[in-house]
Amino acid sequence: MKKLFLILVLGLFFAGNASTFQLESFPSVNSLLEKGYELHSTNIIKSGQYQYNLVSNGSNGKHRLITCIYSIEQNVSICWVP
């Protein structure tokens, strides 16, 4: 029974990660705002790292939601589509 539960949990864990992909060009949050995205929410992950959730209405082939993490120390943002 424990093995079945472990397989089920691991399957759900990997299935959730399979549906996301990282954007290749690593756009800045400002460039996404200029392209028509709207800032939905922000979170402080830890000191010096911020999470931004940007939304779009989906027109012109845009993704509806983009999540970005910005690191102040490295001055880089990493964005992906959930």
Residue 51 lies in a domain: yes
- What pLDDT shows up at residue 6? 62
| Residues 32/45, Cβ–Cβ less than 8 Å | no
Q: Is the residue at 57 inside a domain? A: yes
Domain-located, residue 5: no
Query: Does pTM surpass 0.85?
Result: no
Q: Total structural domains in the chain? A: 1
Q: Is residue 70 part of a domain?
A: yes
At residue 4, the pLDDT reads: 61
Give the angle 10-23-75 at the CA atoms, nearest 5°: 105
Tell me, yes or no, whether 7 lies in a domain.
no
Q: What string of pLDDT tens digits covers the 82 residues of the chain? A: 766 656 655 565 555 544 555 666 667 888 888 888 999 999 999 889 999 999 988 776 777 888 999 999 988 888 888 7
